[in-house]
Amino acid sequence: MSTSHSIAFIGTGVMGRSMAGHLMRAGHTLHVFNRTKARAQALLDAGAHWHESAGRAAAEANFVFTIVGFPNDVEQTYFGPEGVIARARPGAVLIDMTTSSPLLARRIAEAAAVRGLAALDAPVSGGDVGAREARLVIMVGGDAAAFQRAKPLLELMGKSVVHQGPPGAGQHCKMANQIGIASSMMAWCEALAYARKAGLDLARVLESIGGGSAASASMNNLAPRALRGDFQPGFYVKHFRKDMRIALESAAEMKLDLPGLAAAKKLYDQVADCGWDECGTQALYRLYLAS
């Protein structure tokens, strides 16, 4: 029988609650915190233990997982007076699965090491469906020994768990992922806008191009939702805009020009200006419906 761990999970939103559920179902004891307690209720009903702060949850665990919204949320979760680094048990492994800044990931790793903790940055790709079905792609930066300790737990949530290198490397890999998605989102939206103007049946178009060279995970997962008028978030526009901003800032630090990413960010800023920041990323298609 595998070892049962005491695990803290901070952030039980669209993706986090499914990810935490996989850990519970594998027999691990779960300690949870979320800014909105109601979003953790299903986990609490299943036996998870509620705590009033991230730090209090972390104090009960030898592995601490976080998946929150924005880099400032990550900073507060880790560095606040009731934060993870101040309260975590010595020897604990801290695993931030938020898509955040590579620089912040390195700061967390350095501060954790001072307290005898190990920290990994482990952002994910796969959205709400990948989280529910434990098919996430998990990109990990940090100490190799800490990665090996955490890997069996990460494999409960993902189909691909790869150590990318030192602290911050997981976040850099996720930026590369988001850069690729940004262009693919524009691609299928423009393909369907063209087919619509040509008077084609869009479901039939997707049946053809979704199985050919133009296909992408974004097209096959999100275009059908958009055509049904389903703009509910599997991944929020507001979070994607945050990711693109981080990627553009990181690219600028490396003196790298990314015109495709810049174009996608401009379009998604228009999506936000239309009031669709709380929608899923497939809301980009709504811009094309107006043209």
Give catalytic residue positions.
174
Q: Which of 47, 287, 75 is nearest to 185 (CA)?
A: 287
CA 290, distance to chain mean position in Å, is: 30
> 136-142 and 124-125 as β-strands: parallel, antiparallel, unpaired?
antiparallel
Helix axis angle, 102-114 relative to 71-79, nearest 10°? 0
Tokens encoding 65? 């997982």
Helix (H/G/I), strand (E/B), else coil: 87: helix
What span, in angstroms and rounded, lies between the C-alpha atoms of 262 and 247? 10
Sign of the CA dihedral 255, 263, 131, 38? positive
How does 43-69 read in b/e, with b if 16+ C-beta sit within 10 Å? beeeebeebebbbebbbbbbbbbbbbb
Phi/psi for 46 (5° steps) reads -85, -5
Instruction: Tell me what percent of the chain is helix, strand and coil, each rounded to the nearest 5.
Output: 55, 15, 30
What span, in angstroms and rounded, lies between the C-alpha atoms of 71 and 241? 13
Q: Cβ contacts of residue 154 below 8 Å, gap of 6+?
A: 95, 122, 138, 140, 161
Q: Which of 61, 14, 63 is nearest to 34 (CA)?
A: 14
